[in-house]
Amino acid sequence: MLATTLCFSQAYIKLLDMNGVRLKQAGVGVPFILKVDIESGANDNAKPEIEGLDNPNIAVKYDGTSSTITNIAGQVSVERSFKYYLRIDSEGTYRIGPAKLYVQGDVLESNAIDIKVGASQLSKQQSNKKVDLNISVDNLNPYQGQKIDFTLNLKGAGQLNIVGISEPDLKNFNISNVEGPFQETTFEKGERILHYRWHYSIYPKISGKLVIPSVSVVLKVPDEDSQSFFSSFFNSYKKETLYSNSIVLNVKKLPKGNFDAIGNFTNFSAKLDKKSLDKGDAALVKVIISGDADLTSLDFDLKNIPENLKAYKSNNKIEGDTKIFEFILQGLKEGEYTIPAQSFKYFDPISEKSGLLKTKQLKIIFNKSKNLKEEKKVDDDGLYSIVDYGYYYNEPFYLSKFIFFLLLFLPLMFPLFLYIFARFRNSKKYKLSLLKEKLNNSELYKVFVELAALKLNKVKNKVDKKDLENLLKDSKWHTFIQKLSEYKFSNIVEKSSIKLKEEAEYWFNILEKS
């Protein structure tokens, strides 16, 4: 039966642009749709295996399956469609398919398609000619880390109904200085043209072949093919997705050497806010670097700092084409210190030469503190001399390891404590102790009703006199229960009877141990 079903089943592959139009040529970095349609029978839910998608130049994303069931004159057929998004990042001709579907040992095989991938995507139906979306760069062969001006342009005639525009996929680049959109209006052949422009400064993080995929824009355009009755009275619109070109960069490796940065630098200097200060006070050193480069990723540390002089990186900020690094200096001992000249080596990708900038050396003096504690001391000759005790150093407060771990695990132990406490509150032993306390200030009959409910695992309002008598097979116990019942229903307060309380304590102790 299955073999007969597969004989009447058909599978075939289609390549479409993102608007569902059949594709003539794929564009580098431009996404498109792969559909595998299976007609009639073979209603197993397994996905087909598609040859050619394991190519490293092809990015694949599965989008799901749709099914259509038809019943014509009792003949049921199932049509399924598997949808994938593909993107190919290198020019050439690629074979996609056949798609093979395995159902209980039998195989259903589709056609295969050879698709050419060129600089731009071509569909059988031309896209909106009134709108143009493109991306561009000022350098197709940059060095790793070199600044590239990236521009996104959207141009359209008349009124543009933009639903949304995608962000450029720049995962292999550092990005800074994003500007836009800038809007401009021009007229071409008497027609009003709107221009939108976005500008990015990007820096390739790696070398080799890098693809900047196409960018998409979704527009709301008149639906001229609508067959709706209302379209003859009202304007009918549909969404249309347009894609830009993509860009392929050949990023060159940097020459051998250790470089602090890539770019063209014009200034590298350092300055102190104080040249002389007391020991224990702090000075501020500013290192200033100016140039046309990726300042956001630029980092710098002071080097070759003298012993007994500590430098702490404090802050950094960017002002235009300048980045300022701030360091705090502290002298551990009094004296004069020299901060040696700092060097900054960079590679200029424009001249393809390396450069070296140096700061001037800095001198700083840490004096003996004026806030020293002084004490007079009598010498052997009877004269007074000043004894310098310097600063008093207060040892920092440290927690012991035991206290530290106790405080660390205390929040975790609190729920456990609540759980144990709840278990204790619900234990019979705890409830018996509470009942025993009530013998002195409650109605004795109610106390023994609660005791019976606890022993018999019953609700209090369902415990009767017979349940109380059945707790013990003793005639004296039954007599005691009878007394309790008489006192309860005769409205005599048990507190007035010391003898009855003594009996109650006696029987309570017996039941507690039973």
What is the token pair recorded at 281? 């006070």
Q: Is 437 helix (H, G, I), strand (E, B) or coil?
A: helix
DSSP percent split of the chain into helix, strand, coil, nearest 5? 20, 45, 35
Render pLDDT for 271-315 as a digit per residue (tens, 0 to 9): 999 899 988 889 999 999 999 999 999 999 999 999 989 999 999
* pTM for this predicted structure: 0.60
3-state secondary structure 45-90: CCCCEECCCCCCCEEEEEEEEEEEEEEECCEEEEEEEEEEEEEECC
Contact in structure between 291 and 381 (CB atoms under 8 Å): no
Instruction: Report the distance separating Cα 107 and Cα 102, nearest Å.
Output: 5
What is the residue type of 170? L
Name the DSSP letter for residue 382: S
- CB 329 within 8 Å of CB 356: no
Q: Are strands 343-348 and 261-272 parallel, antiparallel or unpaired?
A: parallel
The predicted pLDDT at position 198 comes to 93
Side-chain-side CA neighbours of residue 255 (13 Å): 10
* pLDDT tens for the chain, residues 1 to 514: 444 445 557 888 999 988 888 888 988 888 989 999 887 655 556 788 899 999 988 999 998 888 877 777 667 677 888 999 999 988 899 999 898 887 666 788 889 999 999 877 887 665 566 788 999 999 999 999 999 999 999 988 877 788 888 889 999 999 988 998 899 999 888 888 889 999 999 999 999 999 999 998 888 877 655 555 444 445 567 788 888 899 999 999 999 989 999 999 999 999 999 899 988 889 999 999 999 999 999 999 999 999 989 999 999 999 999 999 999 999 888 999 999 999 999 999 999 999 999 999 999 999 987 654 444 444 444 443 434 444 444 556 666 777 877 777 778 777 877 778 777 767 777 777 777 777 765 577 778 788 788 777 777 777 777 887 777 777 788 888 787 777 665 555 544 467 777 788 787 787 777 7
Give CA 92 to chain center in angstroms. Answer: 37
**Structural domains of the chain, ranges and CATH numbers in brackets:** 2-123 (2.60.40.740), 131-251 (2.60.40), 264-365 (2.60.40), 428-513 (no CATH)
E strand or H helix at 425: helix 401-425
SS3 459: coil
Sign of the four-CA dihedral 451, 452, 457, 463: negative
pLDDT of residue 489: 59
Backbone angles phi, psi at 410, to 5 degrees: -60, -45
